[in-house]
Amino acid sequence: MTSPSGGGSRRKRPVLIPVIAVLLASGLGITALLGGLDQVPDPPPEQLGEGAILDQGQFRTQFVAARYVFTPAANEFAEDQRHLELEFKVTNLGDRTTYVGSPQQPGKETTSSVLFAGSILRTTPPIRTEAGGVGAVLTGDELRSTQLHPGVATPVVVRYELDEATEVPDRIVLDMGTFELMGRFPSKVEDWSLATKRVNGKDVAEVAARVTLPVQQGERS
Amino acid sequence: MTVTAPASRETPPRRGRRARPGRSGKILSAVAGIVLASAAVVVQQYVPDAKAMGSPLTYTGEMNQEVSADRFSVRVRSVSAARAIENVILEDDPKRTEARGIFLIVQVSATVPKQPTHLVARLLTAEDTVYEPTDRVAAQLTFRETWIQPGWWNSGVYVFEVPPEVIAGARIVITVPTGALVGEAFPPEAEVDLGLDEAAAADLVAKAEPVRQLGKKGSS
pLDDT in tens, A156-169: 999 998 888 788 88
CA distance A110 to chain B (A): 21
Interface of B with A (CB under 8 A): 49-51, 54, 87, 95-98, 100-101, 127-132, 134-136, 138, 161-163, 166
Compute the mean pLDDT over every residue in chain A, rounded to the nearest whole number: 85
pLDDT value for A89: 95
pLDDT for the residue numbered A199:
82
Number of structural domains, chain A?
2
Residues in B touching A186 (Cβ below 8 Å): 50
Q: Domain check: are B24 and B68 in the same one?
A: no
Looking at the structure, do residues A58 and A13 belong to the same domain, yes or no?
no
Domain that holds residue B37: 4-44
CATH code where residue B62 lies: 2.60.40.1240
pLDDT, residue A140, reads 77
Same domain, B62 and B28: no
**Tens digit of each residue's pLDDT (9 = 90 or more) over B106-138:** 999 999 998 899 999 999 999 999 999 999 998
Q: What is the pLDDT of residues A11-47, one digit of tens each?
A: 556 788 889 999 999 999 888 888 776 666 677 888 8
Tell me, what's the pLDDT at A14?
A: 72
Among A114, A109, A116, smallest CA distance to A132 is for: A109
- Looking at the fold, whether B38 and B94 belong to one and the same domain comes out as no
Regarding an ipTM greater than 0.85, the answer is no
Cβ–Cβ below 8 Å for A149 and B161: yes
pLDDT average, residue stretch A178-202: 81
How many folded domains does chain B comprise?
A: 2
Q: A102 and A26, same structural domain? A: no
CB contact under 8 A, B161 and A152: yes
Of the partner residues A146, A151, A153, the one whose CB lies closest to the CB of residue B166: A151
Q: A162, A176, A167: which is closest to A210 by C-alpha?
A: A176
Q: What is the pLDDT of residue B219?
A: 43
Position A77 confidence tier, pLDDT thresholds 50, 70, 90: confident
What are the C-alpha distances in Å from A214 to residues A170, B68, B74, B111? Answer: 6, 58, 54, 57
Q: What is the mean pLDDT of residues B70-89?
A: 92
Average pLDDT over residues B78-91: 90
Q: Are residues A34 and A69 in the same domain?
A: no
Asked, for residue B123, whether it belongs to a domain, the answer is yes
Residue in B with minimal Cα distance to A98: B132
Residue B136 within a domain: yes
Chain A: closest CA distance from residue B50 (Å)? 5
Number of CB pairs, chain A paired with chain B, less than 8 A apart: 63
Q: Are residues A24 and A102 in the same domain?
A: no
- Cβ <8 Å between A97 and B132: yes
Residues B157 and B99 in one domain: yes
Domain for residue B220, yes or no? no
Going by their DSSP bridges, the two strands B130-131 and B120-124 should be labelled as antiparallel
Considering CB atoms only, which of B95, B96, B131 is closest to A149? B131
Find out whether B85 and B217 touch, Cβ atoms under 8 Å.
no
Task: Measure the CA–CA gap between B72 and B175, rounded to whole angstroms.
Answer: 9
A18 and A50, same domain (yes or no): no
Structural domain includes residue B80: yes
CA distance A186 to chain B (A): 8
Are residues B23 and B59 located together in one domain of the fold?
no
Mean local confidence (pLDDT), A99-116 = 87
| Contacting residues of A for B49, CB less than 8 Å apart | 188
Q: Please check whether residues B37 and B62 belong to one and the same domain.
A: no
A141 to B163: CB separation less than 8 angstroms, yes or no: no
Q: Is residue B117 part of a domain?
A: yes
Q: What is the pLDDT of residue A189?
A: 72
What's the rounded Cα separation, in Å, for the pair A117 and A57? Answer: 14
* pLDDT recorded at residue A209: 93
A52/A20 same-domain check: no
Are B100 and B75 in a shared domain?
yes
Q: Name the residue range of residue A28's domain.
A: 1-38
Give the integer Cα–Cα distance in Å for A211 and B199: 44
Tell me whether residue B207 is in a domain.
Answer: yes
B127 and B36 fall within a common domain: no
Q: Between chains, do A143 and B136 touch, taking CB under 8 Å as contact?
A: yes
Whether residue A90 is found in the same domain as residue A172: yes
Report CA-CA distances (Å) from B77 to A219, B43, B64, B128.
49, 44, 5, 22
Residue B95 has its nearest CB partner, among A141, A153, A187, at A141
User: What's the confidence (pLDDT) of residue A204?
Assistant: 87
